[in-house]
Structure 1
Amino acid sequence: MITNLPLSAVALRPGEFERRRRLNREYLLSLTDDNLLQNHYIEAGISNRLWQFKPSSEDPTDRGVGRHWGWESPSGELRGHFLGHWMSAAAREVAATGDALLAARVSSIVAELERCQRENGGEWVFGIPQSFMHRLAQGRAVWAPQYNVHKTLMGLVDVARECGDSRALAVAHRAATWFDRWAASFDDETFDEILDVETGGMLEIWADLLSLTGDEMYRRLLNRYDRRRLFDPLIAGADVLTNKHANTTIPEVLGAARAYEVTGEQRWADIVTSYWEMAVTTRGTYCTGGQTAGEIWTPPFEFAARRGDKNQELCTVYNMIRLADVLFRWTGERDYLDYIERNLYNGILAQQNNATGMVSYFLPLESGARKLWGTPTEDFWCCHGTLVQAHTRHQASIAYLDEGTLIVAQYIPSTLTLELDGRHVVVRIERSETADRVGPEANAGRSGSRHRPESWQFDITIESDAAAVVPVRLRIPGWVQGEPSFDVDGGESEVCIADGFATLSHLSGRTRVRVSLPCSLQSEPIPDEPETVAFVHGPVVLAGLTDRELRLHGNPNDPTTILAPDNERQWAQWLPGFRSIGQQEAIRFAPLYLVRDETYTVYFPVTNRVSEDIDARNRAAHNGEGERA
């Protein structure tokens, strides 16, 4: 059985992922308890903590430093949702790093939610009124109340699970009794109608609480929230996704995954595998690994007409990464890890501003696109909440255990600290020759390759007690071009490669493995418009820094006829840029995840220059014959 490592066992080392995590932590700490709780206080009528709806200074445009607006405005129907995201993110950060300051903040928030629950009569603990649920049941207009309350319950469950806070579990349990009564008041047909409107991630919460408590109330709620009108045709193979809102269904399927893990009932697993088949295998993705246009699933492999300003909603990226994690743990198949990697770089990193830490709700894939960044306190979109969670999950993606075998899944600089069969084991993953070196040592780096290496190179060091034997499996990504190499303790070593993994054994003491994964510039066409391509290096999508669509000339099957390395080196650091060559207009290309405020284009029409030359020669020959005739 494959399992995630405990969050506390994985520490990120300096690099892009650690830098993004720190940005995220700073943002979590910048938000005050009172402002995070503002809508819960309002709903509970705790007037001594209410802030006034008036400017905080003589400036009439000043609404108060830190007060929360956008989707968190007290007049908004999704008010209160963000606190749950914050609790989940903070709880995972505490579990991973032992952050004492965030731990104190989490404890304070839970205490205040207990207080709100008491003031609301002992059960209701949310930032919206109970009447919103009644409006949902009556078929009246209301914006996603189950989505909203799920976030608070999710936060409480994550605090209970990651921080061991029994108060959080008790608050969630008391709130769940309200839903048990409410759901039981409807016949099956009526409740199915309610679920067809929206369910949020409630199914996953009931499975989590069943696992944490063993209380049969949660089994009852689990079965009640089984959305048969979606799940049954899905299992039967019907296309229930085309043009359907994606992020209403992905959380439901994550709930089915959790239900299978808790109950062992096969039908839940069938829902999950059928969904992946329908959403990914037979539908395809953009070059980024993501999907959706205007928050809905595109038709299978028909993307050309769906590129616009609202591609790849971040919530879908995050939740599909979670689903891929589930399916890897169930199957051990490498493709799910490749999917995670592609979406980490071209979704989670690409949709976080690398200076401010703020979110881009969508990742536009139209020509001349620009990312639209959120603000610290003015927006609070759904993807705003998702992003703060996403950057506390990097540790969970790096490595797994399979009955004593360590699986290195993502090559993210990190240190793993494990106890295997009673033996202490430390594993360090570091970029080697291509490492980003900054600071005082930047001028002291080794010279290395003559030009930027066409490979990703990593040093993996394993240290353990003398008698420890640690089998290790290293993912060989699907983007690898050519044969990977493994230098074990200074000498080339033959490593068994099968099913997308290299297997070796650390026998005792210290083992150092240098891994070289060759890659090359690749083009990826749009399936229904194959003459339009994106350029990808390893798992990283490249963005052309141009404000419009330009036709490129060259061989699309050999993108080195179109692009060449650009500004490749500074000090001891290799830089990742490219530039166009032989084109009418010069374009620089940068990794999409490093693009901040520049306009960019990902997909370019390409005319095959070889075909053009052949056609020109044929025309010339034909014209010559005509003249002679």
Structure 2
Amino acid sequence: MSFTRRSMLKATLAAFPAHGVARDLGQLAPPVPVDAARAFLADQVRLLPGSPFHVRQELHRTGVLASYDPDKLLYHYRALAKLPQKAGIEKGYDGWDSEFLRGHMTGHYLSAASRMAAATGSLRFRDRVNYLVAELAACQKSLNQDGYLAAFSTAAFDQLEGKPGADAGGIGVPYYTIQKIMSGLLDAHAYVGNQQALDVATRMADYFGKRLARLDAGQVERIFRTDGSRNPQNEFGAMSDVLTELYKIDKNPRHLDTARMFHRAWFVGPLADGEDRLGGLHANTHIAQVMGLANAANVDGNALELKASENFWRLVVHRHAFANGGTSVNEWFDQPGVEAGPSIDSGKVLPPTTAETCNTHNMLKLTARLFERDRRAELADYYERALYNHVLASVAPDSGAMTYFTPFHGDFRTYLNGSYCCTGSGIENTARYNEGIYFHKDDALWVNLYIPSELSWRQAGIVLRQQGDITRGDPVRLTVVKPGARAVTLNLRVPAWVAGRVTLRINGKPQPVDAQPSTYIALRRQWRAGDVIDLTLPAGLRLEQAMDDASTVSLFHGPVLLAGELGRQGMPASDVGDKDAWLKIAAVPVPDIVGKSGNPADWLAPVPGDPSAFRFKDAGPANGIVVRPLFDLHHQRYAVYWRLSAAGQYGPTPGAVTLK
């Protein structure tokens, strides 16, 4: 049986009721402990040379992330706390970090630098993290407001709460920025071992817990009701997630109670019933919200939250995602099933404002939370798709510059020159590449991603080295460097995209495997030093139909989304600028593919000397265009979606399309 993205959509629709009754969040099923796996922290996984992930991480380690000045990041905090600035520091970073998101980059930087210190062993970033934490603690002490810490005054929260005469001073989404600061502090504690960071974050949590507790239910509902605006001024980020993370450290129930104040019945209840009310909502507001919902559910097994977070993931991935795993048009969720048709953005078709990077940054976090409770390969398949084809593709391989949107149809990327939200999540992304490759629970290890790396599984005493770049067609080799003292199970993912017989050898000896796509191969034994596992995962060309138009397709080779090179016609001299700088420059036309079949192998030929690139042949107007991985195609126009006429009709021939 063959599957298409449209058949998957139909199956997903059938699985959910057309209507549901929103439940009172106070009526919860008895908690059931979650049997959780854990991702390895960045200090236990090192990226090895030989992949685009290592290249981009090094660009940020030595360039982009290294270029930030901690004292400039502290400028607005010191100004509010009336502490002196360091010599030569006359202002903070231009753009959003000095405007309505004042101070958010400091939180992002703490998260990025803490992880980079752990992921690469960099003492420079460790020292910067410790310096920033000490200075933020000094600002918190100088403010002397019961633990309050921010780069803006409490008037921003007074205005949000509706206090007469309150003036936020241009601050738009105060809880969003508070979350970034708190998350950065908790990352400093987790990855650098900074106890002071935990103390500062705890005092912040206590302040906001008390502040919210003083409000009545109507006030809280008004503050956190976010379905009235596509870009809500009360966006609250992942406050639930960071407060739950704090609870997991200190076991203070007040922090979990405060976290759940951000789980609103109007949103969570319908999700638990499988309703799709996402159209028109601000995507990143609610992805971050559900990330916290999933985290809290994993803590105590809250049945409603477990169901709601799982349903949300399925709805986004199967009804609201583009081919690269990204979501949103101009930051909003579109209506269910819209992909290549008229969009929520004034009816435009595939405008240049598709797939905000922050969304996928948080979708990866949510996916990891779900994998903790349910180790199914489908989750890892999506994680791989979104990581390779959106998060990795959002970073320029020559400079490390980052993007806000990822366009798909005749446009080009704009590389950010300011302190946008996607700049903040962008500097975190490269330091997070180490995470998500491996998960563990008891004596079992899951290898979810095939990225050259070395794992030090300290609890089991095992060191495992992984080699081979699957994006270039390499086989995967796993070498047991240090075996540990007991038998363990290695679960090797068989991706959904495999296009032939999977083969497995241990120490050169073929092993019998029944390797179905989107499953795991389980290998249990007492491993020995020097054991070698060789895994071949055959990749093939395939196309995927858009959910709403069978004649619009995207092209893949194995896990990699291919993009067609369309040149620099009409582009500015520099593609660096404001996130909206070039949105009014028209896209160039994308030629149709006119081929004899719906099988891309009939009209794509390998480019000699480049195992990841192909050239159109016998494809009508598209002839001669080179396609290569989207993550490798930068500084020019490109196409990800194509109109296909196969065998004289628009739309692929039956049976030619494989499942997303």
Category of TM-score, reference length = shorter chain: 0.7 to 0.9
1:552 aligned partner? 593
Q: 1:510 aligns with which of 505, 512, 530?
A: 530
**Which amino acid in structure 1 is aligned with residue 317 of structure 2?**
V
Contact 1:160 1:166 in 2 (8 A): yes
Q: How does 1:16-95 map to 2 (within 5 A)?
A: 16-26=52-62, 27-49=64-86, 68-73=93-98, 76-95=99-118
Deviation at residue 28 of structure 1 after TM alignment: 1.7
Q: How does 1:411-426 map to 2 (within 5 A)?
A: 411-419=450-458, 421=460, 424-426=461-463
- Residue 624 (structure 2) pairs with residue 586 (structure 1): yes
CA distance in 1, matches of 2:173, 2:485: 56
1:539 aligned partner? 559
Q: 1:134 aligns with which of 147, 151, 158?
A: 158
**SS across alignment from 1:350:** helix
CA distance in 1, matches of 2:458, 2:176: 39
Deviation at residue 244 of structure 1 after TM alignment: 1.0
Contact 1:534 1:541 in 2 (8 A): yes
1:490 aligned partner? 508
CA distance in 2, matches of 1:483, 1:610: 33
**Which amino acid in structure 2 is aligned with residue 71 of structure 1?**
W
- Residue 482 (structure 2) pairs with residue 464 (structure 1): yes
What whole-Å deviation, never above 9, does each CA across 1:238-276 have from its counterpart, x for those lacking one? 222112111001111111122123333333222211212
Q: 1:315 aligns with which of 358, 365, 372?
A: 358
Contact 1:78 1:128 in 2 (8 A): no
Deviation at residue 609 of structure 1 after TM alignment: 3.7
**SS across alignment from 2:295:** helix
1:452 aligned partner? none
CA distance in 1, matches of 2:368, 2:94: 34
1:285 aligned partner? 321
CA distance in 1, matches of 2:316, 2:244: 23
**Which amino acid in structure 1 is aligned with residue 272 of structure 2?**
I
Deviation at residue 605 of structure 1 after TM alignment: 1.0
Q: 1:151 aligns with which of 169, 180, 197?
A: 180
Q: 1:187 aligns with which of 207, 212, 216?
A: 216
Q: 2:433 aligns with which of 394, 397, 410?
A: 394
Deviation at residue 466 of structure 1 after TM alignment: 8.3
CA distance in 1, matches of 2:543, 2:355: 20
Task: Give the 3 Å change call, closer, same or farther, for CA 48–362 of structure 1 in structure 2.
Answer: closer
1:627 aligned partner? none
Deviation at residue 496 of structure 1 after TM alignment: 4.9
**Which amino acid in structure 2 is aligned with residue 127 of structure 1?**
A
Unpaired stretches in structure 1, ≥5 consecutive residues: 54-63, 437-454, 613-629
**Which amino acid in structure 2 is aligned with residue 586 of structure 1?**
G
**Which amino acid in structure 2 is aligned with residue 487 of structure 1?**
R
Q: 1:177 aligns with which of 197, 206, 210?
A: 206
**Which amino acid in structure 2 is aligned with residue 6 of structure 1?**
L
Contact 2:256 2:296 in 1 (8 A): no
CA distance in 2, matches of 1:103, 1:502: 38
CA distance in 2, matches of 1:180, 1:329: 28
1:605 aligned partner? 643
Deviation at residue 467 of structure 1 after TM alignment: 5.9
- Residue 119 (structure 2) pairs with residue 96 (structure 1): yes
Contact 1:290 1:347 in 2 (8 A): yes
**Which amino acid in structure 2 is aligned with residue 280 of structure 1?**
V
More off after superposition, 80-89 vs 191-200: 191-200
Task: Give the 3 Å change call, closer, same or farther, for CA 406–223 of structure 1 in structure 2.
Answer: closer
- Higher Cα radius of gyration: 1
More off after superposition, 325-334 vs 468-477: 468-477
Q: TM-score, normalised by structure 2?
A: 0.82
**Which amino acid in structure 1 is aligned with residue 334 of structure 2?**
T
Task: Give the 3 Å change call, closer, same or farther, for CA 105–303 of structure 1 in structure 2.
Answer: same
Q: More helix per residue: 1 or 2? A: 1
Deviation at residue 341 of structure 1 after TM alignment: 0.5
CA distance in 2, matches of 1:420, 1:286: 39
Task: Give the 3 Å change call, closer, same or farther, for CA 509–119 of structure 1 in structure 2.
Answer: closer
What whole-Å deviation, never above 9, does each CA across 1:308-331 have from its counterpart, x for those lacking one? 111110011111111111112211
Contact 2:108 2:425 in 1 (8 A): yes
CA distance in 1, matches of 2:242, 2:153: 20
Deviation at residue 469 of structure 1 after TM alignment: 2.9
**SS across alignment from 2:237:** coil
Q: 2:237 aligns with which of 200, 219, 227?
A: 200
CA distance in 2, matches of 1:543, 1:488: 36
What whole-Å deviation, never above 9, does each CA across 1:295-351 have from its counterpart, x for those lacking one? 111222221223111111001111111111111221111011010111111111111
2:28 aligned partner? none
What whole-Å deviation, never above 9, does each CA across 1:423-466 have from its counterpart, x for those lacking one? x322111117x797xxxxxxxxxxxxxxxxxx551111124348
What whole-Å deviation, never above 9, does each CA across 1:449-498 have from its counterpart, x for those lacking one? xxxxxx55111112434864332111000000121111222232213546
Contact 2:268 2:305 in 1 (8 A): no
**Which amino acid in structure 2 is aligned with residue 159 of structure 1?**
A
More off after superposition, 549-558 vs 459-468: 459-468
Q: TM-score, normalised by structure 1?
A: 0.86
What whole-Å deviation, never above 9, does each CA across 1:26-62 have from its counterpart, x for those lacking one? 2222111111111111221224448676xxxxxxxxx
**SS across alignment from 1:395:** coil
Deviation at residue 112 of structure 1 after TM alignment: 0.7
Unpaired stretches in structure 2, ≥5 consecutive residues: 1-35, 226-233, 344-349, 567-587, 651-660
**SS across alignment from 1:396:** coil
- Residue 549 (structure 2) pairs with residue 529 (structure 1): yes
CA distance in 2, matches of 1:590, 1:387: 23
**Which amino acid in structure 2 is aligned with residue 143 of structure 1?**
G
**Runs of 4+ off more than 4 Å:** 50-53, 139-142, 465-468
- Residue 48 (structure 2) pairs with residue 5 (structure 1): no
Q: 2:148 aligns with which of 102, 115, 124?
A: 124
**Which amino acid in structure 2 is aligned with residue 458 of structure 1?**
V
**SS across alignment from 1:426:** strand
What whole-Å deviation, never above 9, does each CA across 1:381-434 have from its counterpart, x for those lacking one? 10110111111112211111132122111000011122455xx322111117x7
2:653 aligned partner? none
CA distance in 2, matches of 1:607, 1:458: 36
CA distance in 1, matches of 2:550, 2:489: 43
**Which amino acid in structure 1 is aligned with residue 467 of structure 2?**
E
Task: Give the 3 Å change call, closer, same or farther, for CA 463–496 of structure 1 in structure 2.
Answer: farther
Task: Give the 3 Å change call, closer, same or farther, for CA 576–221 of structure 1 in structure 2.
Answer: same
Contact 1:38 1:50 in 2 (8 A): no
CA distance in 2, matches of 1:45, 1:467: 56
- Residue 334 (structure 2) pairs with residue 302 (structure 1): no
Q: How many residues align?
A: 567
What whole-Å deviation, never above 9, does each CA across 1:273-307 have from its counterpart, x for those lacking one? 121233224x1521112221111112222212231
- Residue 598 (structure 2) pairs with residue 561 (structure 1): no
**SS across alignment from 2:325:** coil
**SS across alignment from 1:126:** coil
2:410 aligned partner? 368
CA distance in 2, matches of 1:471, 1:186: 51
CA distance in 2, matches of 1:608, 1:220: 57
Task: Give the 3 Å change call, closer, same or farther, for CA 208–45 of structure 1 in structure 2.
Answer: same
2:9 aligned partner? none
CA distance in 2, matches of 1:496, 1:461: 22
Task: Give the 3 Å change call, closer, same or farther, for CA 105–492 of structure 1 in structure 2.
Answer: same
Deviation at residue 553 of structure 1 after TM alignment: 0.9
RCO greater where, 1 or 2, for CA within 8 Å and sep 6 or more? 2
CA distance in 1, matches of 2:370, 2:471: 31
Instruction: Say what the alpha-carbon RMSD is for the aligned residues.
Output: 2.2
What whole-Å deviation, never above 9, does each CA across 1:211-237 have from its counterpart, x for those lacking one? 222224313313433322211222123
Contact 1:458 1:514 in 2 (8 A): yes
CA distance in 1, matches of 2:385, 2:493: 14
Deviation at residue 114 of structure 1 after TM alignment: 1.0
